[in-house]
Structure 1
């Protein structure tokens, strides 16, 4: 059996392809080696679904956030190897997952807009260029944590419309102390900040929420897509929940900048499954 994983900061999508070609799917917690050590990742793996079938797994293809350098790849590989002792483990960056699932064997720009954000220029086989992705404190423009952080700042400084602020208080019972506790004292502040994007998306007909997302996407294009050579002549593809559920705003922001927004999908896992079925 083959196990395929696409892991972001908030969730991991898993696919198992058995010897007969049958596919089963699962969803578990996401993890990132920049924010979690090997012990924490191993514990997360042990708590997920696949401990029931680990003996039959022969190959693991893992695509994950934070797996852009050798040190982090080794950390994740060793954690996976503890769980799948007989399997051959392959660990790749989640950018390659985005490129393979949306571009296939064609050249294009692949972008991630989920809890965090990232991008790459892809030649149909390999990533030939990518932009820095310094995480939710220094970057992640266009991602859920970036949008949520601005939303919370506007709430704290009373710079969001009063009717939106009242809805936030009613929906979340939100207050200043609670925000600081979740951002500075509890684990995974990026996930916490991104969690407000559900509310923002649900209220995107309101000009404030619409413009919050629109500006975040323009910030992403400025820091990422517009830095690639000939970006206006290339198809630009997107994966991630923020891109998927706000695709109308994303396409508008792209069009305003003469950027060709092509495929927009929530998760690359289906495309990855097809890729590894064709390239076992």
Structure 2
């Protein structure tokens, strides 16, 4: 049996599978080695993951995660996995590869992640062949939940929201200037805090000002990312992530503006990854 991890900054989905069956599905806190060191990552494995897996006989681990974009960051996760699962080989790669494998399978396409953060790539059916740089929370993350939250909180702090909307937002989250600034500038993962406001925006999506922010969020993503890939008007553009899934109506409108054909929009890559790895296991066992 192998263990597959699909990890974002907010949560991590774990699946235990073999070539024909899925035996276990568990969830833990999100992990991002850009912000967490090996000890903190191992602590999550020790307290949240291992108790749920019990006595499962794991032969290999395939971990796809947000922030796993350099050898140094990947090693933090690899070392934590080795401590949690001694003598079990583990393979750590970027969540972008997970998205491409889950969305496109063995066919070419553009794969996009729109969750707490955002990213995209051009995939040739086997490998990622192009990637417009994702600048992360501070300078980028267009299209993401964090970017949506940033737009909303900026409008709130600059007194640009209608009074009724501003009051509703303030009361729901007990917002204060110091509280907002502490959460954004004083926490380990500020993008996670900002992304929590996406739920409010979904509920208020019919408000003209919120509708405009949602459209602007996706327009920025298409302009700065999708439109930079060769053949973006001919290849299917596929999306995974809660923001893409829940705001798909607006996403489709923006795609139409840019002359793009949307392939699939899914909330999680887990099912696609299971299919991909089961096919690999069958080929290896043939």
TM-score, length basis structure 1: 0.96
CA contact (8 A) 1:55 1:86 kept: no
Which residue number corresponds to residue 40 of structure 1?
Answer: 40
Matched, 1:94 2:95: yes
SS at match of 1:95: helix
Structure 1 residue 134: deviation in Å? Answer: 1.6
SS at match of 2:233: helix
Which residue number corresponds to residue 62 of structure 2?
Answer: 61
Which residue number corresponds to residue 151 of structure 1?
Answer: 152
Which residue number corresponds to residue 175 of structure 2?
Answer: 174
Which residue number corresponds to residue 30 of structure 2?
Answer: 30
What's the C-alpha RMSD, in Å, of the aligned pairs?
1.4
For the residues of structure 2 that align with 1:165 and 1:262, how far apart are their CA atoms? 36
- Gap change, CA 1:54 and 1:229, over 3 Å in 2: farther
SS at match of 1:87: coil
What is the count of residue pairs matched by the alignment?
Answer: 280
SS at match of 1:106: coil
For the residues of structure 1 that align with 2:208 and 2:7, how far apart are their CA atoms? 33
Structure 1 residue 20: deviation in Å? Answer: 6.9
For the residues of structure 1 that align with 2:36 and 2:145, how far apart are their CA atoms? 20
SS at match of 2:137: helix
Deviations 1:25-44 (A, max 9, x none): 11211111111111111111
Which residue number corresponds to residue 215 of structure 1?
Answer: 216
CA contact (8 A) 2:19 2:278 kept: no
Structure 1 residue 18: deviation in Å? Answer: 5.2
Which residue number corresponds to residue 255 of structure 1?
Answer: 256
Structure 1 residue 201: deviation in Å? Answer: 0.8
For the residues of structure 1 that align with 2:114 and 2:234, how far apart are their CA atoms? 21
CA contact (8 A) 2:18 2:278 kept: no
Deviations 1:96-136 (A, max 9, x none): 11011010111000000000000000000000000111211
SS at match of 1:72: helix
Structure 1 residue 54: deviation in Å? Answer: 5.9
SS at match of 1:48: helix
CA contact (8 A) 1:54 1:83 kept: no
Deviations 1:14-62 (A, max 9, x none): 1111587243211211111111111111111112233443661111010
* Map 1:193-208 → 2, pairs under 5 A: 193-208=194-209
TM-score, length basis structure 2: 0.94
For the residues of structure 1 that align with 2:209 and 2:87, how far apart are their CA atoms? 53
Give unpaired runs (5+ residues) of structure 1: none
Matched, 1:264 2:281: no
Deviations 1:138-172 (A, max 9, x none): 11001111110111111111011222101112211
Which residue number corresponds to residue 84 of structure 2?
Answer: 83
Give unpaired runs (5+ residues) of structure 2: 282-286
SS at match of 1:3: strand
For the residues of structure 2 that align with 1:54 and 1:18, how far apart are their CA atoms? 16
Structure 1 residue 249: deviation in Å? Answer: 0.8
